[in-house]
């Protein structure tokens, strides 16, 4: 199965950005490691990152017909973007919301997500392992869907 892994703004800075919060792994190294694990689960992942809200909307729209699931860390757009919410709802592809940090243990404005109530699962505060966990959730659900 094909899964799209979408990363939003500033996640391209992973490894150097607030390492105390987000760790020292680069997005590229996370991508490589996670892809290897995904492969053993029969999941092929495509990774995309954009700092632009509209580009993320485009990528979600274009996912229709190609991807059976989406893993999305929308970064700060999580807390602001009705457009990304509408796109995910519009395409109807099951998705797992990921946050590297525990957004509930930080500033209050990070506690609200425009995605959580329509997500098929949420992983927060698991560090970069969250991407792998999200893929595992999608793999098990898509291969053996709940009745
Ligand atoms: C984040 C949490 C967001 O609040 C923040 O804006 C990010 C990263 C995370 O992965 O912990 O950019 O989504």
Asked if residue 94 belongs to a domain, the reply is yes
Asked if residue 64 belongs to a domain, the reply is yes
The pLDDT score that the predictor gives to residue 18 is 83
Give the number of domains in the chain: 1
Is 86 annotated as a binding-site member?
A: yes
Please give the angle made by the CA atoms of 135, 46 and 131, to the nearest 5 degrees: 30
Asked if residue 112 belongs to a domain, the reply is yes
Domain that holds residue 104: 1-8+35-46+53-72+90-120+138-147
pLDDT digits (tens, 9 = 90+) for 35-89: 999 999 999 999 999 999 999 999 999 999 999 999 999 999 999 999 999 999 9
Asked if residue 142 belongs to a domain, the reply is yes
As a whole number of Å, the CA-based R_g of the chain is 14
Residue 87 CA to residue 108 CA, distance in Å, equals: 25
Q: If you search the block for the tokens 């590297």, which residue do you land on?
A: 100
Asked if residue 83 belongs to a domain, the reply is no
Is 104 annotated as a binding-site member?
A: no
Asked if residue 2 belongs to a domain, the reply is yes
| Nearest atom (ligand 1) to Cα of 76 | 6
Residues in contact with ligand 1 by the CB-under-6-Å rule are: 10, 73, 75-76, 78, 99-101, 103, 110
Q: φ, ψ for residue 67 (rounded to 5)?
A: -110, 140
The pLDDT score that the predictor gives to residue 7 is 98
Q: Is the pTM higher than 0.90?
A: yes
Residue 147's pLDDT band, with cuts at 50, 70 and 90, is: low
Asked if residue 132 belongs to a domain, the reply is no
pLDDT digits (tens, 9 = 90+) for 105-123: 999 999 999 999 999 999 9
């Amino acid at each position: 199965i094909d899964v799209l892994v979408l990363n939003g703004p500033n996640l391209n800075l992973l490894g150097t950005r607030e390492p105390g919060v987000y760790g020292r792994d680069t997005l590229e190294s996370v991508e490589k490691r996670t892809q290897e694990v995904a492969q053993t689960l029969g999941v092929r992942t495509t990774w995309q990152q954009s700092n632009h809200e509209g580009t993320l909307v485009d990528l979600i729209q274009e996912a229709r017909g190609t991807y059976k699931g989406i893993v999305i860390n929308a970064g700060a757009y999580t807390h602001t973007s009705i457009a990304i919410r509408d796109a995910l709802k519009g395409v109807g592809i099951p998705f797992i919301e990921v946050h590297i940090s525990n957004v509930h243990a930080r500033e209050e404005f990070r506690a609200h997500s425009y995605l959580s109530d329509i997500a098929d699962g949420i992983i927060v505060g698991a560090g970069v392992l969250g991407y792998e966990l999200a893929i595992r959730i999608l793999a098990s659900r898509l291969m053996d869907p709940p009745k």
